[in-house]
Amino acid sequence: DAGITQSPRHKVTETGTPVTLRCHQTENHRYMYWYRQDPGHGLRLIHYSYGVKDTDKGEVSDGYSVSRSKTEDFLLTLESATSSQTSVYFCAISDPEGAQSPLHFGNGTRLTVT
Amino acid sequence: RKEVEQDPGPFNVPEGATVAFNCTYSNSASQSFFWYRQDCRKEPKLLMSVYSSGNEDGRFTAQLNRASQYISLLIRDSKLSDSATYLCVVNMFRGSQGNLIFGKGTKLSVKP
């Protein structure tokens, strides 16, 4: 399995609080992604990164920001959590071919916003 | 047409059965196609890439039909352990980086 670690695995937080999720990889892959998965919607891309300090928005980026200061770490921040951001969040990586390559996922973070 | 569309199922089949899933996609310029498997409360895992010539991996066969814009996954001799949700994934080539779009998944339940 690809070396991808997400932390925390579970988190419960209150509406309005900031939350940061971490994704750490040991594969030295260029591309990293954050997805959310909700019933009835499947996996949707939030943000992705194609290198250190290079990021771009995905389909559902509102309310989220990301940072990538090192190749191995990709952080997802919810500046002010809302109940609609209750979801399962998956980080993924792909090899230097990026767009042509399959993704490999971390084991997810289950976030509940009360 | 939705970008990537799958029959949600569930497909309930007996052990040993052959089952096929189809997935349609909207962008005729798409170049990369994949099937993923996702177990309940787990992350998606790559099952196989789908090549233009079709490809087989043991009991699993994937095919691509560009003219009709669909990909298929055939599972032969189903096992109980094949029970999972199968996700179709297509690269839609948005912008310069591309973008993999996931279908909502087809649920398979293999019964004894």
The reported pLDDT for the residue numbered B88 is: 95
Q: Do B44 and A58 touch (CB under 8 A)?
A: no
Least confident of A28-37, A58-67, B91-100, B101-110: B91-100
For residue A22, pLDDT beyond 70: yes
The reported pLDDT for the residue numbered B96 is: 47
| Closest Cβ opposite residue B44 in set A44, A58, A105 | A105
Q: Do B87 and A42 touch (CB under 8 A)?
A: yes
The pLDDT tens digits for A91-110 are 999 876 655 688 899 999 99
For residue B40, pLDDT beyond 80: yes
Residue of chain A whose alpha carbon sits nearest to that of B97:
A99
For residue A55, pLDDT beyond 60: yes
The pLDDT tens digits for B63-101 are 999 999 999 999 999 999 999 999 999 987 655 455 788
Residue A78, token pair as written in the block: 């919810």
Distance from CA of B77 to the nearest CA of A (A): 26
Residues of B in contact with A50 (CB under 8 A): 97
CA nearest B88: which of B52, B58, B63? B63
First to last CA, chain B: 37
Q: Greater confidence, A2 or B48?
A: B48
Measured between CB atoms, does B14 come within 8 Å of chain A?
no
Residue B96, token pair as written in the block: 């310069």
Mean pLDDT of all residues belonging to chain B: 91
CB pairs under 8 A between A and B: 53
Q: Greater confidence, A67 or A40?
A: A67
What number is the average pLDDT over the span A60-72?
A: 96
Cis peptide bond upstream of B112, omega within 30: no
